[in-house]
Amino acid sequence: MKVADKTPGKCIAFSKIQSIVDPPDLLKVQLDSFNSFIQDSVPLEKRKDQGLEKVLRSAFPITDTRGLYLLEYISYTFDKPKYTVEECIERGLTYDVSLKVKLKLSYKDEPDETDWKETIQQEVYLGRIPYMTDRGTFIVNGAERVVVAQLHRSPGVVFSEAVHPNGKKMYSAKIVPTRGSWIEFQTDINNQIYVYIDQKKNFLVSALLRAIGFARDEDILGLFDMIEEVPVKSGKRDYLVGKYLASDIIDMQTGEVVSARTAITEDILDQITAAGYKSVRIIRPAEEKGLDKSIITNTILNDSSATEEEALEIVYEELRANEAPDIDAARSFLERTFFNQKKYDLGDVGRYRIDKKLGREQQEFKAYIEAHPELMQLSDSIYGKILQTIQSYSDEPVGKEIMVLTHYDIIAVIYYLIKLVNGQAEVDDVDHLANRRVRTVGEQLAAQFVIGLARLGKNVREKLNSRDSDKIAPADLINARTVSSVVSSFFATSQLSQFMDQTNPLAEMTNKRRVSALGPGGLTRERAGFEVRDVHYTHYGRLCPIETPEGPNIGLISSLSVYAEINDKGFIQTPYRVVRDGVVTDEVLMLSAEDEENKITVPVNVPLDENRKIATETVQARTKGDYPVVTAEEVDYMVVSPVQIVSAAAALIPFLEHDDGNRALMGANMQRQAVPLLVSEAPVVGTGMEAKVARDSRSVIVADGPGV
């Protein structure tokens, strides 16, 4: 506690706990996101492959159908805004900048020519886009608007369970891409695995595996280590009777075939012996090798397809019921749906989440394949592809740059489902913040540019196809309104683009730090249940458990906590002090909900001795949603501040911990409705956050640099 100072207007801090970390700039979430999207202060050659740069690179090059023209992207620049922020507000204008893109058009007379005959390089005007002010807002037609961040389901793989009316648990795995078709694997009451693509009709997973190249039963069984080679001799006959054949048995003399999946009888054993076989490959019994994989056996035994062609027909018939089954069309349809970068994109986050979730399965499968080189001979192309993918990243999970689904991802998901059925893995919590991410203003603008540039690309192709070999320049192909109209429409009509609440500086600040689960691609009030609205243990230090609207939007609209930041993948992070062997260090780490999982944290007011070691033998801690009593040595992290858990509005309430939660919620919301006093007067009691909120809201004049 500081000693009282009698100077008028002097603040006296009575806090017993000194925070070692200052809260970040409260507008950082808006400003950083827009700056990483626009990158206008970064030299052209040093721009990262993100935001507008990434969108433009992916939209070009554009070619015509004849292959005579090639339009390539080089770089982009912005002009300075025409008017100041004040002028725009006064005159009802939009505070925007003009976007100019440098393009190169190449031309040749014949498609089979290797060299381009002529190239024209030109800077083309692509329209005007609203520019963020240093207050984190946009001025559109003279009105200040804010783009609210959206909390949505993260791309990747999510495992869940449901209980059938007969009491049996059914598990499902859903792979959600950033762009493309959803694929879901589901177990049923008959102990089989089915596949749903875009929630259409289902078919057995073995049909999908055959369709993507694992044509024979023994190829699929080999994936899951379910083939056993048993010698055909008198001592093993009883063991073999009742088992299923894993591969065809062919009598070379008579041409007779005993097909795979046939249950072995005494007569069949005699046939096998007569055909000269010394051993036979069977499907390994489910109870052996620790993991019960009978679900794979049941799925294969009930599969009506036996070859790749039959499986492709089944898949195509189910997904394209109105079209006649065609093998080539079916194969290219599957290739296009999941393995083509243009149609299917997991995105950085989707690939990261899949690798993180299935990392152990990746390593197990890699070890199994390396231990069984004979498998490589079964289906060279497929196993070779998978092994090449895994081996090229040594001990790392599958490569981050592979943004499409791989054959291996599908196998790993099935393997995880088998573990779930056996009770050796856990389902995901969809409300956990590791499975939900934030789409900030930069990402939302990038999505609008993707739409606008896709339309532009279509128009450019049409113009190139209709042109003969007369000279054209890039400017002749580009219509600037195509892109700018999409962006303008987003600011004018999107549910996440809102007029800024300008009642007082706190209202402005809260509007900019708001996180909404509503909006395009998000939830709707009607569909959202209690679970998604509820406070989750991962919200600690990330989303405020207090500040949320009363009424239909309760729990769907939240506020970022004071210390919360959003990382480059869109996950919310919060700071913790590292604790080693019971000693609290000055090292501070920003942890996402996933990083914090299973870690033990203690509050900031835990008593410490002069060496900063936790003074008590045991301490009440927090791990997941539980509050166990642990020894000092078991503690991993310490909270950095008592206000870390709440938002800026809640942190302005003095003695917050003495209030009932419902009343604190009302207090936090009502502060935003306060109007200025006629005669300004400082409060008698404050929390110490007042100056921070006033300064970061940019409502007071603050020098950018030191005065000397």
Nearest residue to 651 via CA among 535, 504, 516, 506: 506
Contact status, residue 649 vs residue 692, Cβ threshold 8 Å: no
pLDDT confidence of residue 423: 87
Residue with tokens 């083509």: 340
Distance (Å, whole) CA 352 – CA 299: 30
238-242: long-range contacts, CB 8 A cutoff, minimum separation 24: 240/264, 240/269, 240/280, 240/282, 241/265, 241/266, 241/269
pLDDT confidence of residue 361: 66
Distance (Å, whole) CA 19 – CA 61: 52
pLDDT confidence of residue 534: 95
Q: How many residues does the chain have?
A: 708
Beta strands of 363-471 (E only): which ranges? 436-439
Q: Which residues touch 410 (CB under 8 Å, ≥6 apart)?
A: 208, 209, 212
What's the chain's Rg over C-alpha atoms? 31
Tokens of 429: 């919590």
DSSP state for residue 657 in the 8-state scheme: G
CA 545, 548, 551 angle in degrees (round to 5)? Answer: 130
Residue with tokens 């886009």: 129
Distance (Å, whole) CA 35 – CA 346: 24
Pairing of strands 618-620, 629-631: antiparallel
Tokens of 584: 């609290």
User: How many Å separate Cα 598 from the centre of its chain?
Assistant: 21
Tokens of 387: 């092994």
Contact status, residue 557 vs residue 534, Cβ threshold 8 Å: no
Q: Kind and range of the H or E element at 104?
A: strand 96-107
Beta strands of 436-529 (E only): which ranges? 436-439, 497-499, 514-516
User: How many Å separate Cα 508 from the centre of its chain?
Assistant: 29
Distance (Å, whole) CA 160 – CA 432: 13
Q: Kind and range of the H or E element at 160?
A: strand 156-163
* Helices (H) then strands (E): counts for the chain: 22, 27
Distance (Å, whole) CA 672 – CA 509: 9
Contact status, residue 208 vs residue 311, Cβ threshold 8 Å: yes
Encode pLDDT of 254-298 as tens digits: 767 777 778 888 888 877 777 777 788 888 776 655 678 888 888
Distance (Å, whole) CA 609 – CA 613: 6
Determine how many CB atoms are found less than 10 A away from the CB of residue 436: 22
Nearest residue to 539 via CA among 556, 516, 564: 564
Spans in the chain with pLDDT lower than 70: 1-9, 234-235, 253, 255, 286-290, 321, 324-325, 360-401, 468-470
Distance (Å, whole) CA 316 – CA 211: 10
User: How many Å separate Cα 235 from the centre of its chain?
Assistant: 55
Torsion of CA 690, 691, 696, 698, to 10 degrees: 100
- Checking phi first, is residue 551 left (phi over 0); if not, alpha (psi -120 to 50) or beta? left
pLDDT confidence of residue 366: 64
Distance (Å, whole) CA 360 – CA 366: 10
Domains of the chain: 28-146+440-505 (3.90.1100.10), 156-215+305-421 (3.90.1110.10)
Distance between start and end Cα atoms, the chain: 32
Contact status, residue 476 vs residue 462, Cβ threshold 8 Å: no
Distance (Å, whole) CA 456 – CA 479: 7
pLDDT confidence of residue 318: 80
Encode pLDDT of 86-109 as tens digits: 999 999 999 999 999 999 998 887
Q: Count CA within 13 A, CB hemisphere, residue 71.
A: 30
- DSSP string for 149-207: EEEEEPSEEEEEEEE-TTS-EEEEEEEE-SBS--EEEEE-TTS-EEEEETT--EEEHHH
Contact status, residue 117 vs residue 107, Cβ threshold 8 Å: yes
